[in-house]
Amino acid sequence: MKTAGQSTIRALAAAGLLVFAAVPARADLRLCNRLSYAVEAAIGVEDRGAAATRGWIRLNPGECRGVLQGDVPGEHLYVHARALAVYGPSPLPSSGHADLCVGDKEFVIATAKSCARGQHLVRFTEVKPAETPDGLLAALAEEADYTDDQARLAGIQRLLAMSGYDAGPIDGVTGRKTESALAQFLKDRGLASAAAEQPAFFDVLIEAAQQPASTGLSWCNDTAFTVMAALGAEEKGAIVTRGWYRVEPGKCLRPDFTPPARRLYSFAEAVDGDGHKVSRGGKPLAWGGATAMCTREAKFELGDQRDCVARGLVPTGFAPVDLPPKGGTIVRFKE
C-alpha cells in the first residue's frame, strides 16, 4: 500500500524534481542524485524572511553525499541542481518555489535574496527530507524513478552514447548492448573491467564525451573564454533551434540532434566570467553566418524561425554545417 508520502514523491518526480515527504527528525542530511545526469547542487536555507545559499556540490548519478551536518536549520530548505556543461542546455526543469542567488563557481552567500556582482538568481525547489536509518535524506529524481544503482547505470549509458558507443536505451537496465558498449569503451582506453566500478569512472566518461567525435558534429573551444553555442536542425520539415550549450575553454562538446541530419546550423559567442559577451575590436567575439534564425538570452527550443523580433526573440545569424556521409565534422572556435 502506498503512503501519502510516496504519492507525493511520484507526483514531483513526474515533474522531474524531488522530493520525499516530511518526517520531522534531527540528523545529518544527505542528498542523493537519482538522475541519469551528473549534476552540481546548491543548498538554500530560509528563516524568517532571510535566506542563505552555498554550492556547488558535485553528484554523479547514483551518488549520495552529506550536505548538512546536525539539525536542518531554518523554516525552509531548498535545493537547486544543474547538469554539467557536457550535456548541453540543462535538461533539468527550472520550476520551483524560490528564486535565490548563486555564483558560477564554489560559493557561500549569506544574503541570497539580493545578488551581488558575479551572482545571479536561479529557481530553487523546497525539500522536506525523509527520515531513514542513516539519517535525513532528500533525492533528485526524474520521471523514470530510478534507484541509486539504476541511476548510476543510466548515467553510464548516457555518457557512453554521447561518446559514440551504442549502449542501447538509457533505462538503467543492463543488457547485451550496454555490456558490449562498456567493454569496448574500457578496451579502447586500456582500462580493466574493475575501473567501471570506481567513483572516478564518471570523470573518465565525461572526459571522453568532451573529445571530438568520429561521427556527427563536434564544437571545440580553442579560446580562453567560455563559449555559449546554439544549434539548428531540421525536424519534421521545420528548423528547430536549441541553446545554450556551454563549451568550456579547451574542451569539445557534441550537441545532440534527432533524427540524424546531413545539414545543421551553428552559432556561438564568447562570454566572460560574469556571463557578459566578449568583444574584439568593438564587435562581439562570435561565430555564425548569414542564415537568420531565432534565439533568446535564456535556455530555448524554438520551432518557428519567422518574425523573431515580433515574438520578442533575437534574430541571429547561423552558419550551415554540412555533415559527411561518413566521419565527423569539427567546428572550432578561435580568437
Give the pLDDT confidence of 254-292 residue by residue, as tens digits. Answer: 887 666 678 899 999 999 988 889 999 889 999 999 999
56 versus 1: which is more confidently predicted? 56
Instruction: Say if residue 93's pLDDT is above 80.
Output: no
Average pLDDT over residues 71-85: 87
pLDDT at 11 over 70: no
Query: Per-residue pLDDT averaged across 208-220, rounded?
Result: 81
Beta bridge pairs of residue 280 = 283
* pLDDT tens sequence across 120-165: 999 999 998 988 888 889 999 988 899 999 999 999 999 998 887 8
d(CA 143, CA 141): 7
The alpha carbon of residue 283 and the mean position of all alpha carbons in its chain are separated, in whole angstroms, by: 30
pLDDT top residue among 74 and 217: 217
DSSP 8-state secondary structure symbol assigned to residue 99:
E
Q: Per-domain residue ranges for the chain? A: 4-146, 149-209, 216-333
Spatial separation of the C-alpha atoms in residues 203 and 201, rounded to whole Å: 5
Residue 306: what pLDDT? 93
What is the reported pLDDT for 2?
31
Can you tell me the mean pLDDT for 213-241?
Answer: 88
Residue 24: other Cβ atoms inside 10 A: 9
The answer on pLDDT for 6 being more than 50 is no
